Amino acid sequence: MVKKVEHLNQATWNHEVIISLGERKSKYLDWVITVVFYEAIHYVESAFACIHDVGHTERCQKVDESPSGARWRLVKKVFNRNVQQSFWELETASKNLRYLLGDYQSYYDEAVVAGFIDSNLALIKTESINKHI
């Protein structure tokens, strides 16, 4: 089973990727958003690892449930509404960018990316780390 520290290490690695892409000023904002979401996943999974009856998304996954569906169910179980909303926004943006053709900047510009990093991700990180205590 993946441990809390492994998820935190991966979150840190993902953040380094965001920085290397240029963060808010990147010409690859679509990839920045996607990696921000992956960083958020590792923060929530690090919190799950500290909760005895959860442990990890895959451990709690129901037979007919996707990993992302199981993770969302656990996010709703473990975190408050603000974290749920922040996580949902990042997940939705990441999914949109995978299927959006053309000019994604009309949907996700530098200001939106800054909000994802400074608000959504920051809240998820703080609340996840608070679950470690």
CATH number at residue 14: 1.20.120
Look up the domain containing 104 and give its range. Answer: 4-129
Nearest to 120 by CA among 38, 37, 61: 37
Give the per-residue pLDDT at 85. Answer: 98
- Between the alpha carbon of residue 110 and those of residues 64, 68, 105, the distances in Å are 38, 27, 8
Does residue 1 have a pLDDT over 60? no
Give the per-residue pLDDT at 51. Answer: 77
Q: What's the pTM value of the predicted model, to 2 decimals?
A: 0.90
Count of domains forming the chain: 1
